[in-house]
């Protein structure tokens, strides 16, 4: 039985991916659920398990090529079968609708192109649709050369790039893979959601001392991130419009009653945002351990797609690499993101006197379609109040 394995719909609005790596070659015998390829989506690298056992009859894409949802990745068959044989089963997540890309790919046209039997047999062996081949022979007949040309892998024209411009030498960094995906998603966020940003400082001297004491007494090493996550969740409970998303098609603002906090991670392959789920049900020690695992898997690209979905609010800790303030871009379709700067010693007027205090810069970006300036200020003020009087965090470890 010949089986066409189509690139499935993995959800989250993903419409295409990039074929990162083949794990099989044409002619290989494979088993059901064997990993045949790695696909890079705008979320993560996803392994593709085979839907059936059999022989790999044809690979339809080259590595690094883009593949749209519904397109046939590879064809699998039994002994004596060819890629051009009638398809009896199609691997897909759901039956393609008539008129969709999957539906179009699933239909086959009867061959009426003029060609001798030997050429037709060659076309079947190569898995080429005779109707799609322009004939160059007499009276428009399709020749063997036409079939071989149509079956050959499509090569992109070689572009020669200079390593210098008018002013000096330059390097070329490919704008593909994760980098291209990040750029596309950032553009979607900025051009869809009108951003507004507010900034302020928090005196975290007390939090600094509390963290140091808890780490010493409990012999643990909590970073500031679990404290920030707990603080953000408390502030979101009082300002729920920042824990929401806009559904313009249904003229609806969806306010989430749970708190899934994304943590922006700087990886060698670009920015990724793993999500800690249901934070309101967890303690800081568990959150810390979960974050460490997520960050590790994000950096080596072994993270599960599910760990990058479902966020309701994001924290971007650019302070970990030295920043003080920023204008963070919202992780669309969320409606707010908190940027956190590094903690620095600053002279602060306290009780009428100047004192050196530990100060953290905070930057809050909002989707102004959903969140007003007043809501944003109230949220940020509450975050600051909770950080500056952190005793309530003592029992959250």
The residues carrying an active-site annotation are 368
- Beta-bridge partners for 313: 261
Round to whole Å and give the CA distance between 233 and 226.
11
> On the CB side of 387, how many CA atoms lie within 13 Å of its CA?
29
Residue 275 CA: distances (Å) to CA of 40, 256, 286, 368: 19, 15, 14, 23
The β-bridge relationship of strands 270-272 and 353-367 is unpaired
The β-bridge relationship of strands 244-247 and 89-91 is unpaired
Tell which residue, 4, 102, 115, 121, has the closest CA to residue 52: 4
Round to whole Å and give the CA distance between 28 and 26.
6
Tell which residue, 316, 365, 321, has the closest CA to residue 342: 321
- Beta-bridge partners for 272: 265
Q: Which residue has the tokens 């956190």?
A: 340
Structure tokens at 90: 């199609």
Tell which residue, 37, 20, 38, has the closest CA to residue 28: 37
Structure tokens at 17: 């991916």
> DSSP H helical segments within the chain, as ranges?
101-106, 117-126, 144-151, 177-192, 205-217, 224-238, 284-299, 373-388
Q: Which residue has the tokens 């975050």?
A: 383
CB 262 within 8 A of CB 294: no
Q: Which residue has the tokens 């379709």?
A: 333
Tell which residue, 380, 268, 279, 264, has the closest CA to residue 331: 264
CB 138 within 8 A of CB 126: no
Q: What is the CA radius of gyration of the chain?
A: 28
């Amino acid at each position: 039985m010949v089986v066409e394995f189509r690139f499935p719909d993995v959800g989250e609005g993903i419409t295409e991916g990039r074929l990162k790596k083949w794990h099989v070659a044409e002619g290989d015998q494979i088993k059901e659920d064997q990993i045949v390829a790695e696909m890079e989506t705008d979320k993560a690298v996803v392994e593709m398990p085979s839907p059936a056992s059999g022989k790999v009859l044809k690979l339809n894409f080259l590595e690094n090529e883009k593949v749209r949802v519904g397109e046939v990745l590879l064809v699998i068959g039994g002994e004596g079968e060819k890629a051009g044989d009638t398809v009896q089963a199609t691997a897909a997540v759901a039956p393609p609708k008539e008129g969709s890309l999957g539906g179009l790919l699933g239909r086959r046209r009867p061959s009426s192109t003029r060609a001798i039997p030997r050429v037709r047999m060659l076309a079947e062996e190569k898995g080429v649709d005779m109707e799609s081949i322009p004939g160059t022979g007499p009276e428009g007949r399709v020749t063997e050369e036409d079939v071989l040309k149509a079956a050959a892998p499509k090569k992109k024209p070689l572009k020669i790039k200079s390593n210098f411009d008018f002013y000096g030498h330059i390097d070329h960094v490919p704008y593909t893979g994760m980098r291209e995906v990040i750029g596309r998603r950032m553009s979607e966020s900025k051009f869809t959601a009108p951003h507004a940003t507010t900034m302020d400082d928090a005196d975290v001297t007390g939090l600094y001392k509390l963290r140091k004491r808890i780490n010493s007494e409990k012999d643990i090493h909590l970073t500031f991130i679990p404290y920030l996550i707990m603080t953000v969740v408390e502030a979101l409970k009082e300002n729920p419009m920042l824990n929401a998303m806009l559904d313009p098609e249904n003229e609806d603002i969806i306010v989430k009653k749970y708190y899934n906090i994304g943590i922006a991670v700087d990886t060698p392959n670009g920015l990724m945002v793993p999500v800690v789920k249901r934070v309101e049900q967890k303690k800081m020690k568990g959150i810390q351990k979960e974050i460490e695992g997520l960050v590790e898997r994000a950096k080596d690209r072994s993270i599960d797609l599910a760990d990058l979905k479902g966020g309701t609010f994001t924290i971007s800790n650019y302070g970990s690499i030295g920043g003080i303030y920023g204008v963070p871009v919202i992780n669309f379709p969320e409606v707010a993101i908190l940027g956190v700067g590094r903690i620095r010693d600053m002279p602060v007027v306290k009780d009428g006197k100047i004192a050196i205090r530990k100060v953290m810069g905070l930057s809050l970006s909002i989707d102004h379609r959903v969140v007003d300036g007043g809501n944003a200020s109230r949220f940020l003020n509450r975050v600051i109040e909770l950080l500056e009087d952190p005793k309530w965090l003592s029992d959250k470890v």
